[in-house]
Structure 1
Amino acid sequence: MTAPSSAPSRTRGRWITHWEPENAAFWNATGRRVANRNLWASIFAEHIGFSVWSLWSVLTLFMTPEAGFDYTPAQKFLLVSAVSLVGAVLRVPYTLAVPKFGGRNWTLISACALLVPTGLAAVLIQRPDTPFWLLLLLAATAGLGGGNFSSSMANINSFFPERSKGWALGLNAGGGNIGVATAQLAGLGVIAAFGAAQGYLLAVLYIPLLLAAAVVAATRMDNLTGARSDAGAQIAAAKDRHFWILSFLYIGTFGSFIGFSFAFGLLLQNQFDRTPMEAAAVTFLGPLLGSLVRPVGGRLADRFGGARVTLIGFAAMAAGTAVIVAASLLGSLALFTTGFIALFLLTGIGNGSTYKMIPAVYAAEAENEIAAGVPAEQAYARNKRISGAVLGLVGAAGALGGVGINLVFRQSFMSFDTAIPAYAAFLAFYLACMAVTRRFYLRRPAARPGAAAAASHDESVAAS
């Protein structure tokens, strides 16, 4: 018998057949370097994909009567909703694509696929006579960029050891999330430099960036033969209670982040009569800061436990929402803006900590199965497989939560001509998220075999 090599074993086409991130010798010798190279390439590609997903929330700003477009606000809302919905739904099959095609290969494919809706948008946005149904279809295809998040997260999850996943997943997700702010800033730049009539230039800008993402994926990323996340794993995940609980929590964090990202500017306009330029000058700050702090949420979760950080985050989000309610009642723009920026920061931290909980919860499930007599190798393999599927499915649920945020705002204005009832609903939801987090991931179970080991992670008590 010989000790396994500390270097990854490769086959043709940049496939790695030997990957042991939990092996300290392997990780320190070559694993960390290879994993970090894949991480930074993944961050760049996911960032561009997320930006393309966000493009239509900016492109609709260019669809003005002066540019020849005669669309109602409802039609513009439908365009943005189509992008959001498709991006959320595609997160499920995109998770399956990583083990089937390889993380590197699928990143390359998905980046190239976005050239089609982006290139067509650059052409059709110049033609106001384009039928609305065609623009709606085109906007929906841009939703492909939203699916990139789940495939990227599932891929990076396979590269890193358990102790580092919070930081790695936080960096990867934060780099993607910041694409919302990047697209908004790029749109402002186009308006300032060329005017609203030249909105197509925003789509043109992203064509070479997509090509660059494809080149980076082809030259800097690898495929792992050991990556396993198939349809069977997704079915098993959908039957697991932790999937539904974690999805509920991620709707509260990421759903709030992406929903508020699209709604913030509209709220400034409707509540405080800000002009489009005045609103846009502030709107990008929330998504930017929320994205930047997401890795901090992962890092805090690595140190203090994902459930503790998530619980505190929801408590702070409830307090921040109360501040927004007070600002709305007082008509204070400064307090309103401060409260919303704080809420974006808290959603970013919550995104990182909640996502860190996923692999931790299933690692604890494996320990509990081992304590019940299941062979260790079988228990770890099964739960790691389900964990990869949950990473993608939870991402889809969170994105759908963003659609829900905007629907609640829409109904609130339609029924009460104010957003205050919507804020009250969100506050109640955050309190419910606090209760769920404490009940399932922080409450100590009664003594049982293996309980002492499970108590080492606050998330692990969920298996009781």
Structure 2
Amino acid sequence: MAAADADAHPTHAVTDDARRDLLDWDPNDPERWDPRVAWSTLWVTTFNLVLAFVVWYLPGALVPTLGTVTGWDLTEGQSYWLLAMPGLSGGFLRIVWMTLPPLLGTRRMMTLSALLMIIPLVGWTWVVMLPSQPSYALLVALALAAGIGGGAFSGYMPSTSYFFPKSKQGTALGLQAGIGNFGVSVVQLVVPWAIGFGMLGMAGQLARPEGEEPRQVWLQNPGLIFLPFAVVAVVLSWTTLRSIPVKANVRQQFDIFSTKHTWLMTAEYALTFGIFSGLAGTFGMLLKAQFGPGHLRLVFLGALVGSLARICWGPLCDRFGGGVWTVVSGAGVALSSGLVLYGQLTAPADGAPSLTIFMTGMICIFFFSGIGNAATFKQMPMIFPARQAGGVIGWTAAIAAFGPFVFSMLFNYLSRTVVFSGIIVYALVCAAIAWYYYARPGAEAKS
């Protein structure tokens, strides 16, 4: 740290220039916490997190159109499996990434993550330009590679929690995760727009959507647009970030599994982010299957609303606690799913359900899941000590990241009526757990 800064903050952390570590850092001690470092770290890591969600959901935004391109022949079942793969790999990779903050530190972990995300961006940019469908195994491999973006979340969020005091973690983590979740909306909004025009003189592809006129598309454009941002993420991570030496080996990190609250909060976050990520990943296919490909332009709205709710409820969770809002989230998801279920049950036997009822119910599900995402991330730093809180955040995020895989399989093999009925039951059970353990007067771990 420069001498001038040392004079201005005489008790602030001393930085080892060789390692760029903050050696004397305690965010809960005002004398050993520098908000400028914390907030600058938050904005750089949030930029990276937006990119991570873009990478994670890129196949989901491309596949519905890719299956209509001349020379390609993807069945609906194959499409759902491709949508499932990023969620499957993302969940497993989150278990890996949750261990990295204490092992690598923020700076190294963020730089490595940004570098790895270039792989699926380049891969999907290349494969969609092939004149005919390559082996399905290659598409599966690229879909699995996109899970790198999902895995990174479980390193980013615990790392950020090291930089903020408990009183501000609801706001900080709500901002990071909420803005990061915008990456889903960004890719779902950018892809339909970007594939509609040529860039750099490159040839396009001929799409023949069922029931529509053939049209020219340029499916390589989204990857070309996002690649420069990945390079910026690498440079920012390596040149601006610092690390806090919170050291713990893998065995020590896994002591979180000895407390029941790890498992209870895993169930709660599986409800909130599991549903958010799962429905965000399958929303496009649901719209296409029931209302036609022309309605894919609406798919970005769900993730947008859920992300905004997560941002807005962070400060409210700091003020009123997260437990009560987790209860609200569970009840709201159940009621919203009931509306979607009503639309499915009242649909004509030979036709689609009401688009208005379907969209209203789905948007409300995203809204209440966003509230729950903010609430649970406020709860975990309050329930667990600092070192364990980071691990619990990473673990719960890992399990919830299987949402896209789970929902792709559910919609592939079960009716929508059964799926939304199951969501209602699970949401009500989670609301009851949150009330009993975390929200009621005299709760065991009121948070």
- TM-score, length-normalised on structure 2? 0.88
2:423 counterpart (413, 421, 426): 426
**Residue 444 to residue 296, structure 1, CA distance change in 2 (3 Å):** same
CA distance change for structure 1 residues 196 and 356 in 2, over 3 Å: closer, same or farther? farther
The answer as to 2:143 corresponding to 1:139 is: yes
- The CA deviation at 1:25 is 3.5
SS for the counterpart of 1:264 is helix
Partner of 1:389: 391
CA drift of 1:443 comes to 4.2
Residue 397 to residue 229, structure 1, CA distance change in 2 (3 Å): farther
SS of residue matched to 2:340: helix
How many residues are matched? 415
Match of 1:370 in 2: none
Question: Which whole-Å deviations, capped at 9, do the CAs of 1:232-251 have from their partners, x for residues lacking one?
Answer: 24321122211110000111
Q: Is the 8 A contact 1:14 1:222 kept in 2?
A: yes
Measured in 1, the distance between the counterparts of 2:70 and 2:48 equals: 32
Which amino acid is the alignment partner of residue 216 of structure 1? L
CA–CA distance in structure 1, aligned partners of residues 216 and 400 of structure 2? 32
Counterpart of 1:110 in structure 2 is: 113
Q: Is 2:98–2:154's contact at 8 Å kept on the other side of the alignment? A: yes
Whether contact under 8 Å (2:88, 2:404) holds in the other structure is: no
Q: Secondary structure at the match of 2:221?
A: helix
Q: Distance in 2 between matches of 1:314 and 1:230?
A: 35
**Corresponding position of 1:21:** 27
Instruction: Name the residue aligned to 2:12.
Output: 7
2:366 matches 1:344 = yes
**Map of 1:84-95 to 2, 5 A cutoff?**
84-95=87-98
**Of 347-356 and 332-341, the range deviating more from structure 2:** 332-341
Distance 1:355 1:408 in 2: 27
Match of 1:377 in 2: none
Deviations 1:268-306 (A, max 9, x none): 3334xx22132x111110101111221223222111111
Three-state SS of the structure 2 residue aligned to 1:223 is coil
Q: CA deviation at 1:323?
A: 1.7
SS for the counterpart of 2:63 is helix
Aligned: 1:275 with 2:292: yes
Higher helix share: 1
Deviation readout 1:208-249 (Å, 9 max, x if unpaired): 110011112122211112x24531243211222111100001
Task: Determine if contact 2:269/2:400 at 8 Å carries over to the other structure.
Answer: yes
- 1:300-327 CA distances to partner (integer Å, 9 max, x unpaired)? 2111111111101211221111222223
Q: CA deviation at 1:5?
A: 3.7
Q: Deviations over 1:169-196 (max 9, x none)?
A: 1111112211111111111112333465
Instruction: Please tell me whether the aligned partners of residues 327 and 431 of structure 2 are also in contact (alpha carbons under 8 angstroms).
Output: yes
Q: 1: distance between equivalents of 2:265 and 2:243? A: 28
TM-score by length of 1: 0.85
Distance 1:228 1:311, change over 3 A: farther
Gaps of 5+ in 1: 363-382, 414-418, 446-457
Q: Are 2:66 and 1:58 equivalent residues in the alignment?
A: no
- Decide which moves more: 184-193 or 42-51: 184-193
Structure 2: how far apart are the matches of 1:299 and 1:230? 33
Distance 2:434 2:219 in 1: 44
> Are 2:74 and 1:71 equivalent residues in the alignment?
yes
Structure 2 counterparts to residues 298-447 of structure 1, below 5 A: 298-330=314-346, 331-362=353-384, 383-413=385-415, 419-445=416-442
Are the equivalent residues in 2 in contact too, given 1:297–1:351 (CA < 8 A)? Answer: no
**Is the CA contact (8 Å cut-off) linking 1:58 and 1:187 kept in structure 2?**
yes
Distance 1:135 1:336 in 2: 31
Tell me: CA distance 1:442–1:38, structure 2 relative to 1, closer, same or farther (3 Å). same
Q: CA RMSD in A?
A: 1.9
Given the alignment, which residue of 207, 217, 229 partners 2:237? 217
> Is the partner of 1:110 in helix, strand or coil?
helix
Return the offset for 1:423: 1.2
User: Distance between the aligned counterparts of 1:459 and 1:215, measured in 2?
Assistant: 45
The residue matched to 2:338 in structure 1 has which SS?
Answer: helix
Q: Take 2:281 and 2:444, find their aligned partners in 1: how far apart are those partners?
A: 32
User: Hey, what does 2:204 align to over in structure 1?
Assistant: none
Cα distance in 2 for partners of 1:407, 1:196 equals: 31
Letter in 2 for 1:359: P
SS at 1:199 equivalent: coil
Tell me, in whole angstroms, the C-alpha distance in 2 between the residues paired with 1:427 and 1:209: 39
Amino acid at match of 2:84: S
- Opposite residue 7 of structure 1, the aligned amino acid is H
- Residues 7-37 of structure 1 deviation map (CA, whole Å, 9 limit, x = unaligned): 221002321111121112443xxx1110000
Quick check: 1:5–1:26 contact (8 Å CA) kept in 2? Answer: no
Aligned pairs for 1:157-236 within 5 A: 157-194=161-198, 197-225=217-245, 227-236=246-255
CA distance in 2, matches of 1:263, 1:129: 22
Equivalent position to 2:266, from 247, 250, 253: 247
- 8 Å CA contact 1:67–1:197 kept in 2: the answer is no
The runs of 4+ residues in structure 1 deviating greater than 6 Å are none
Q: CA deviation at 1:132?
A: 1.5
Which runs of 5 or more residues in structure 2 are unaligned?
1-8, 199-214, 347-352
Q: 1:452 maps to what in 2?
A: none
Aligned to 2:38: 35
Bigger drift between 196-205 and 310-319 goes to 196-205
Which whole-Å CA distance do the structure 2 matches of 1:277 and 1:61 have between them?
11
Measure, in 2, the Cα distance between the counterparts of 1:196 and 1:219: 41
Whole-angstrom distance in 2 between the partners of 1:120 and 1:398: 26
Percent sequence identity is: 30
2:171 aligned with 1:156, yes or no? no
**What is residue 211 of structure 2 aligned with on the other side?**
none
Please tell me the residue identity of whatever aligns with 1:387.
Answer: A
